[in-house]
Chains A and B, each alone.
Chain A
Amino acid sequence: MLYDVKMTVNGAAVAGQVEARTLLAQFIREHLRLTGTHVGCDTTQCGCCVVHVDGVAVKSCTMLAVQAVGRSITTIEGLAAADGTLHPMQEAFREHHGLQCGFCTPGMVMMAVDIARRKPGADEKTVRHELEGNICRCTGYQGIVEAILDGSAKINAARINSAEA
């Protein structure tokens, strides 16, 4: 049996028909063909599939597509500005060598944006612990942690500036 699902993905209304067991990650990758969201494990450990659901980081391999009905999803493809300008966190990953092979990167960046939102001013130790659910095999995390500290500072400074303005 197929179910109708409707949700907003990267600002656009999308609809599809899925099986009850279809995971949000599968819906994003296979139905919408947004392949930036990756799947690296079967057990919700690796975090390669992190997207935002109503602005909150979620492992899309651990949510059913039918649970996302009516919600607003942001994937890595929806993070940069429409003109291609990178999001400050993407820019920070580039600046600090926060990626090598790039497979864990989309989930890492989406998680990083969430850390910046939840833990403004987080120190290095906090950032490291916040990354418990995101595995990277290439970078030794050093560039990632530096990128999150820097990107987070820039995002939150911009937030304060815009609040004051």
Chain B
Amino acid sequence: MGQFGIGQPVRRKEDTRLLTGAGQFTDDIELDGQAWAAFVRSPHAHARLLSVDPSVAKAMPGVIAIYTGADFAAAGVGRLVNDADYKNRDGSPMRKPTREVLPTTHTRFVGECLAIVVAETQARARDAAEAVEIEFEPLPAVAGGMRALAEGAPLVWPGLGTNEVVHWEYGDAGKVEALLAGARKRVSVDLVNNRLAPSPMEPRVVAARFDAADGQLTVWSPTQGGRRIQQMLAKLLGIPAAKSRIISIDTGGGFGVRSKMYPETVCVAFAAKTLGRPVKWRGDRAETFVSDYHGRDQVNHAEMGFDAEGRVVAMKLATMVNVGAYLSENGLRLPMDGGGRIIPCVYHVPEFYFSVRPTFTNTVCTDTYRGAGRPEANYITERLMDKAADAFEMSREEIRRRNFIRPEQMPYKTHLGFEIDSGDFDGTMNMALEAADWKGFEARRAVSEKRGKKRGIGLAVFIEGAGSRPLEGMRVRFEDDGGVTVIAGTYSHGQGHATVYSQLVHEFLGVDYDRVALVNGDTANSPETSIGTFGSRSSMVGGMGVKQACDAILVKARKIAAHLLQTEAERVVFEAGVFSAGAGGVTIDEVARASRDPARLPEGVTPGLDEETTYKGDSENFPNGAHVVELEVDPETGVIELLNYVAVDDCGVVLNPFIVHGQVYGGVAQGVGQVLTEDVVYDEAGQLLTASYMDYGMPRAAHMAHIDARFNVVPSKSSWLGVKGAGEAGSCGAPPAIVSAVADALRGYGVRHIDMPLTAERVWRAIEAAKSNKAA
């Protein structure tokens, strides 16, 4: 509908505010009379707490209170629990230790909160935190997941007798092994999916206020929608959920890691409630590194068997995922509920055996980070396909083509019970190959060779699962001034929901784009049935919520319009915001005004035109795409330079290509970061070596190439809008495409794989090792 409707590249409403310094992030909020909090954090990866003595610190100037694990236990503060229910093959349950908000007996990772100090200023609080005396008895620690599974490894939870959370299995191992043994070709890969720090640019901040008069707790913090945090916090503190209110005005990036409940939130809220005084904590970057949940950290062994024509007959996959010291909300689920939704990705694999061993280590928890299990899954299948291409001496595109799930096989039931409704993997790949001039590559390789550079081209075809938990409430309200407000529980923290929802309301109700506003980020007004923004879901579940509310509004508005026009509802035509019948017409704004006056309503119609609705879908959606990357490796230094990047995405119907392209670029950059620069490193004693941007390699502008992003639109059948989530696709495509390209560049040396991150040092070492192997 015109330049502001569905599919238009509308510029964002959010921008002027954010570009002029008028954004309001949590640290920009100052509460009247606020005190400051600082945390005492564990310097040990694993230790017994022999004593925690705050008496010296308490006597320091400006100190208001100090709370330790003992205080929390005495006050009856609840524990952080995980509600997963995976079973070992023998039917025995997973191991499920719960987490104290502040531990009383042991600390299990470096940076764990051990006490909260509240003082008049931040400096006073930090000084006093250093004076809290804690006597530790250090215990053996283990940081690496594979090491933690080895015989005799230090135990994170000695009482459990193992670091393995569960050994979950799917499929028939014997049958798959027989098929692999009998296959014409059998290929295997061993892959490290490096641990990442999600690192939103806004460090974590919490401010809390408690109003004793009405028992109302209000917490300001960066989130991805506060509903779940509201409920968890209420439970932990033993207050009614209605008395727990979470507000995020602006949030500086989420990426999965801001949707979680952290001990710091509970501690600050507890302090504010107990003291009856507002308390604020501002995490610095180092604290954010040690305490924000991390992402990825898998080790995978995978094998595929192929028949004589290069078609997959079976696959087996063994996954270790390092979950950290405690069970976070989702960490252990990611291989099964994240990657498991799509594995074995875009390929038809008749028989599949899958085993997952989530593993405790003395590190901070891992949990969802952009893609959350799907980048890992696609990386596995894409590395296998490249290996198979080598084995068959077939092109990388041909081996894929022979194995794609074809459109006529859809809806396609995945091994773990999900249903891929749509997708054109071959067509999408062909678009990407063409856009990247795949066929003309060898000429470009030769040019680079003359300059002493090793040029490579890589391909990845991937699939995503988006829009999980398709349930979302949405409210649409008519204002007195003729504007319309969308009140959502989805929460825009960079995705441009104010813009896209306005486009939708404009499209459906004909209200001027500029007169539509979005209210989100406050549990006090978000619909009860809302869940929030994560897993590339808001365009589908939020968009459908808006659509459903608008539909209901139109049904009622038509009746009122008919009454005003003195005709039958069936005779009323609605177009561009105007109800008309013959020569007469009323705008939706006039109908909204009339709807408030019972005297102007037809019989049986209740006053008001506002609607609250809950979208409940049957299934999620499956965005997919093909990325082709071209790069050069400097064999003298191992430095990789990206030259061209083509991203063809099928994210279904595109509501705003301007914003969706932005999501693709950002996802690709996080994928590029994973491949080239990012790596969370703990030493063997469990000390975090990468706790600043000096040590942790965030991708910079110069690491990126210009991305040529295109769409192959195959509407999703999962919802009326036909959208597929776009937020996480880039992080799925970039890692396998880039590793494939580097392996292609280094083909001449015989280097066929390097584990991520492909730092210059690793690449250089791989080249040197290959050279000396050849010489020997």
Q: Are A46 and B666 closer than 8 Å at their CB atoms?
A: no
Query: Is B698 interfacial (CB-CB < 8 Å)?
Result: yes
Query: Which of A52-60, A65-73, A129-137, A155-163 has 4 or more CB atoms under 8 Å from chain B?
Result: A129-137
Point out the residues of chain B lying under 8 angstroms from A131, CB to CB: 700-702
Chain B residues with CB under 8 Å of A4's CB are none
Q: Are A94 and B284 in contact (CB under 8 A)?
A: no
A12 CB to closest chain B CB (Å) equals 15
A152 contacts across to B, CB distance below 8 A: none
CB neighbours of A95 from chain B (8 A): 11
| Cβ distance B36 to chain A, nearest Cβ, rounded Å | 12
Question: Is A105 in contact with B286, judged by CB distance below 8 angstroms?
Answer: no
In the complex where A124-B706, A137-B199 touch, is A99 in contact with B18 (Cβ < 8 A)? yes
Instruction: Map CB proximity to B onto A122-165 as digits: 1 under 8 Å, 0 otherwise.
Output: 00110111011011111111111100000000000000000000
The CA of A76 and the CA of B203, in the complex, are separated in Å by 20
**Is B599 in the interface zone, CB < 8 Å from A?**
no
Cross-chain contact B201 with A135 (CB below 8 angstroms): yes
Within the assembled complex, what's the spacing in Å between the Cα atoms of A94 and B17? 10
Q: Which residues of B contact A143 (CB under 8 A)?
A: 662, 665
Contact indicator A103/B730 (Cβ below 8 Å): no
A45 to B284, CA, bound (A): 13
Of A34, A104, A135, A140, the most chain B CB neighbours within 10 A belong to A140
Binary CB contact string for chain A from 74 to 87 against chain B (1 if under 8 A, 0 otherwise):
01110110000010
Is A1 an interface residue when CB atoms closer than 8 A count as contact?
no
Contacting residues, chain B, for A94 (C-beta < 8 A): 11-12, 15-16, 19
User: Nearest Cβ distance between residue B718 and chain A, in whole angstroms?
Assistant: 25
The count of A-to-B residue pairs whose CB atoms sit within 8 angstroms is 186
Q: In this complex, which of A37, A101, A143 has the most chain B Cβ atoms within 10 angstroms of its Cβ?
A: A101
Count chain B residues whose beta carbon lies closer than 8 angstroms to a beta carbon of A.
58
Q: Which residues, 12 to 42 on B, are CB-close (under 8 Å) to A? A: 12, 14-25, 27-28, 30
* Chain B nearest Cβ from A134, distance in angstroms: 8
Contact call A145/B494, Cβ cutoff below 8 A: no
Q: Are B694 and A45 in contact (CB under 8 A)?
A: yes
B251 adjacent to A101 (CB under 8 Å): yes
CA A77 – CA B254 in complex, angstroms?
A: 25
**B704, A103: Cβ atoms under 8 Å?**
no
Which of the listed residues B19, B255, B694, B698 has the most CB atoms from chain A within 10 Å of its own CB? B19
| A116-B203 Cα distance, complex, nearest whole Å | 29
Q: Are B202 and A103 in contact (CB under 8 A)?
A: yes
Q: A36-B21, A77-B20, A94-B15 are in contact. Are A104 and B201 (CB under 8 A)?
A: yes
Is B666 in contact with A100, judged by CB distance below 8 angstroms?
yes
> Which of B16, B201, B251, B286 is within 8 Å of A136, CB to CB?
B201
Q: Least Cβ distance of B496 to chain A in Å?
A: 7
Across the interface, name the chain A residue whose C-beta is closest to B665: A140
Contact B707 A140 (CB under 8 A): yes
Residues of A contacting B299 in the complex (Cβ-Cβ under 8 angstroms): none
Which residues on the B side are within 8 Å of A129 (C-beta)?
701-702
The B-contacting residues of A in range 19-38, CB under 8 angstroms, are: 29, 33-38
B659 lies within 8 A of chain A by Cβ:
yes
Q: Determine the distance from Cα of A76 to Cα of B494 in the docked complex, in whole angstroms.
A: 19
Q: Kindly list chain A residues whose C-beta atoms are within 8 Å of the C-beta of B692.
A: 41-43, 45
Given contacts A128-B701, A131-B702, contact A42 B285 (CB under 8 A): yes
What chain B residues lie within 8 Å of A45 (beta carbons)? 692-694, 698
Q: In B645-685, which residues have CB < 8 Å from any A CB?
A: 658-659, 661-662, 664-670, 672
With beta carbons under 8 angstroms apart, the residue of A34, A37, A97, A141 that contacts B701 is A141
Cα–Cα distance between A53 and B233 once the two chains are bound (Å): 44
A48 within 8 A of B: yes
Are A109 and B19 also in contact (CB < 8 A) when A42-B284, A42-B692 are?
yes
Partner of A38, one of B15, B202, B286, B658: B202
**Nearest-CB distance from B726 to chain A (Å)?**
13
Q: Are A36 and B201 within 8 A (Cβ)? A: no
Cross-chain contact A37 with B496 (CB below 8 angstroms): no
Pairwise interchain contact A101-B493, C-beta atoms closer than 8 A:
yes
B252 within 8 Å of A by Cβ? yes
A97 interface neighbour in B286, B662, B702, B730, Cβ under 8 Å? B662
Instruction: Place the interface of chain A in its size category.
Output: 35 or more
CB neighbours (8 Å) of B700 from chain A are 128, 131-132, 135, 141
Cα–Cα distance between A100 and B203 once the two chains are bound (Å): 16
Residues of B close to A109: CB separation below 8 A? 19
* Residues of chain B lying within 8 A (CB to CB) of residue A120: none
Asked if B702 and A140 sit within 8 Å, CB to CB, the answer is no
Q: What's the minimum C-beta distance from A60 to chain B, rounded to whole angstroms?
A: 13
Residue of A nearest to B658 (CB): A97
Contact status A102-B23, CB under 8 Å: yes
Q: How far is the CB of A50 from chain B (nearest CB, A)?
A: 12
With a cutoff of 8 Å between Cβ atoms, the chain B residues found around residue A125 in the complex are 702
In the assembled complex, the Cα of A95 lies from the Cα of B18 at a distance in Å of 14
Closest to B200 in A: A137
A40 on the B face (CB < 8 A): yes
Closest chain B residue to A102, Cβ basis = B18
**B382 CB within 8 Å of chain A:** no
**Distance between Cα atoms of A101 and B698 in the complex (Å):** 17
Is B253 an interface residue when CB atoms closer than 8 A count as contact?
yes
Q: Is B495 an interface residue (CB 8 A)?
A: yes
Q: Are A139 and B666 also in contact (CB < 8 A) when A42-B692, A93-B19 are? A: yes
Residue B20 contacts which of A33, A36, A132, A140 (CB distance < 8 angstroms)?
A: A36
Give complex CA distance A46, B692 in Å.
Answer: 10
Residues A103 and B25 in contact, CB atoms below 8 Å apart:
yes
Knowing A75-B21, A101-B202, A131-B700 touch, does A35 contact B28 (C-beta < 8 A)? yes
Q: Does B250 belong to the interface (CB within 8 Å)?
A: yes
Residue of A nearest to B24 (CB): A35
In the assembled complex, the CB of A130 is this many whole angstroms from the nearest CB of chain B, namely: 8
**Docked-complex contact B662 and A100, CB < 8 angstroms:** yes
B687-713: contact bitstring with A at CB < 8 Å (1 yes, 0 no)? Answer: 000001110001011101011000000
Which A residues are in CB contact (< 8 Å) with B494?
100-102, 138
Q: Across the interface, do B658 and A36 meet the contact criterion of CB distance under 8 Å?
A: no
A40 contacts B203, CB within 8 Å?
A: yes
Which B residues are within 8 Å of any A CB, using their own CB?
A: 11-12, 14-25, 27-28, 30, 199-203, 250-255, 284-286, 493-496, 658-659, 661-662, 664-670, 672, 692-694, 698, 700-702, 704, 706-707, 730
* 25 A-B contacts (beta carbon < 8 Å): A29-B28, A38-B202, A41-B692, A41-B693, A45-B694, A86-B20, A99-B19, A100-B494, A101-B202, A101-B251, A102-B18, A103-B23, A103-B250, A103-B253, A131-B702, A132-B701, A132-B702, A135-B693, A137-B201, A138-B253, A140-B666, A140-B730, A141-B701, A141-B704, A142-B662
Top 10 nearest A-B pairs by Cβ distance?
Answer: A36-B21, A103-B252, A102-B18, A140-B665, A140-B669, A100-B494, A101-B494, A45-B693, A35-B28, A76-B21
